[in-house]
Amino acid sequence: MIGFNALGRLTIQTLDTNAIYATSLTSPTLPLNQWTHVSMTYSTANGIQLFVNGSFAIRNNSSRNYTASNQMNTITVGTCLQPNTCAFGQTQIVPSQFRGKIDELKIFSRELSISEVGQLAQA
C-alpha cells in the first residue's frame, strides 16, 4: 500500500505472515501543485523500498516473507473499498480518500532496479 500517515508523510507498507511492515518519509510532506514520481518496490532480498523522483528515499527490510494470496486481487486507486481492511492492525496509513491527480500507474511483476526506477521518473 502507498498512502499518507497521520503526519501527512508519504508511507509505504506491506503485510506478511506476521505483521504489517511500514516506513514513512522523514522529510516534510510532498510539495503541492508539483508533479512527483513515486515508486515502491518489494523483494525478499530488499523488503519494501520507496523512491521519490527516481531517488531512493527509505526502506524497511524487515518483511521478507510475503506470500501471495493465490486469489485474484483488486487494486484500488485513490481510496479503500473497505476502510476496515485499510486500517487493519498496526497500519500507519490513514484510511481516507486521496485528493489529487494520478497521471500514470504501472505495476510490474518483479522488483525494479534503482536505474529502472530512475528511467521511469525521467520519462
Domain that holds residue 51: 2-110
120 inside domain: no
Give alpha helix (H) positions in 19-108. 83-86
55 inside domain: yes
53 inside domain: yes
Q: What is the pLDDT of residues 10-37, one digit of tens each?
A: 888 887 777 777 888 887 677 788 889 9
- CA proximity to 94, closest of 83, 103, 102: 83
119 inside domain: no
HSE (side-chain half, CA atoms, 13 Å) at 36: 14
Q: In this structure, are residues 9 and 26 in contact, taking their beta carbons and an 8 Å threshold?
A: yes
Q: What is the mean pLDDT of the chain?
A: 80
pTM here?
0.81
Q: In this structure, are residues 50 and 38 in contact, taking their beta carbons and an 8 Å threshold?
A: yes
115 inside domain: no
Domain count, the chain: 1
Report how far residue 66's alpha carbon sits from residue 42's, in angstroms, rounded to the nearest whole number: 9
Q: What is the pLDDT of residues 100-118, one digit of tens each?
A: 888 889 999 899 999 999 9
Amino acid at 74: T
93 inside domain: yes
